[in-house]
Amino acid sequence: MAAATLGVGIVGLGSIGATHARALRDVEGVEVRAVSGGAPDAAAAAGWPDAVRLPPDEVLRHPGVDVVAVCAPTQWHAPLAVAAVEAGRHVVVEKPLTTDVADAVRLAVLQRERGRLVAMVAQRRFEPEYAALKSLADAGGLGAMRLGTTHVHWYRDDAYYAAAPWRTSMAGGGGSLLNQGVHNVDLLRWLCGPVEEVTAQYATLGRDMDAEDTTVATLRFASGALGLVSTSTATPPGAPATLALHGSAGVVELGQGEVLRWDVPGVPAPSSDGHVASGAADPLAIGVAGHARMWRAIVEAIGSGERYGADAQDAVDTVRLLCGIYEAARSGTRVRLTGPSRRGTAG
């Protein structure tokens, strides 16, 4: 007997919501049934002409919706995700899961109590190069981890910020770390394990706005390894993000859709993924291949009841790291990542 089709509702059918909608065209067993936001013809343009347009709260309660994709501005991620789970829906939340560690913990608790999947969008974990690096690191192929670094040096022009004023606000979830660097920060934590403490600085260098546009941080992992993070949207013309792991047995550096360095004796480099593009200068240039892979994994997890790797329980640690970096930069102190916190207060 064929599995039932999962109905998807998308809250926030702007640029990233449309990316999800297009990606879902390549995923079996799903159908976009309801949307909110975006242009009147956005659902049809993304391949779902029969999806109904509703206010956000009605998308969450639509009887044909099993999974809600929260693609609204960052400040709405937590309240919409909580409402979706409380309405009995699974929920897929665009990055970051929340801007507040306490809200992330609340979602992890709701996931467990309600038996609904709460997934953070982490499509880059499904790029073949990063999946291969994760397997290598977990198997000890790099030896003892010594240094992990990631750099996201992008550029966003005035039109980008004018199109969505929340992008200029720290409280609204703007900022190069939280809005652009989040995926690579998540990858670094996923690959290297828990982070115990951070130091950081941030600045707004490219334009007059409240949100930072450049952040640097140092990390100490629980393993004893050290880490570096730098993010910016004030570095024209922008370059593809990179991530490197240095272990006692080898070093790997990856870009976006390419292997930049793979010096691991006896282990051949994986093939590059030609479907992945960089959002260095254009956030819409990333394509849909990674999102389609992610959605297939989410659909499989919902169907099987098996745990999805980037669920709310896992995402709490990424939110805690992001908040810890901001708190370290704000306070000028070394911050230990323990206990619940709000953004800018790592506890």
Do 84 and 68 form a contact (C-beta atoms < 8 A)?
yes
Provide the number of structural domains found in the chain: 2
Q: Are 277 and 129 contained in the same domain? A: yes
Q: 234 and 131, same structural domain?
A: yes
Task: Name the pLDDT band for 272 (thresholds 50, 70, 90).
Answer: confident
Q: Does residue 346 lie in a domain region?
A: no
Flag whether the pTM goes above 0.75: yes
Task: Say if residue 287's pLDDT is above 80.
Answer: no
Residue 241 belongs to what domain range?
125-283+317-336
State the CATH number of the domain containing residue 26.
Answer: 3.40.50.720
Same domain as 73, residue 102: yes
Domain membership flag for residue 216? yes
pLDDT value for 338: 66
In-domain check, residue 54: yes
Please check whether residue 342 lies inside any domain of the structure: no
In angstroms, the CA 217 to CA 208 distance is 22
User: Measuring CA to CA, how many Å separate 39 from each of 33, 53, 93, 107, 221?
Assistant: 16, 10, 21, 30, 44
Beta-bridge partners for 40: none
Answer whether 208's CB lies under 8 Å from 234's CB: no
In a domain, 344, yes or no: no
**Cα dihedral: 242, 245, 246, 252 (round 10):** -70
- What is the amino acid identity at position 6? L
- The CATH number given to whatever domain includes residue 180 is 3.30.360.10
Look at residue 314 and give its three-state secondary structure. Answer: helix
Average pLDDT of span 126-151: 97
341 within domain boundaries: no
Percent of the chain with pLDDT over 70: 92
Distance of CA 239 to the CA centre of its chain: 19
Between the alpha carbon of residue 56 and those of residues 85, 283, 324, the distances in Å are 14, 24, 31
How far apart are alpha carbons 276 and 233 in whole angstroms?
20
Least confident interval from 14-23, 268-277, 287-296: 268-277
Instruction: Report pLDDT for 83.
Output: 98
Mean pLDDT of the chain: 93
Residues 153 and 276 reside in one and the same domain: yes
3-state secondary structure at position 52: strand
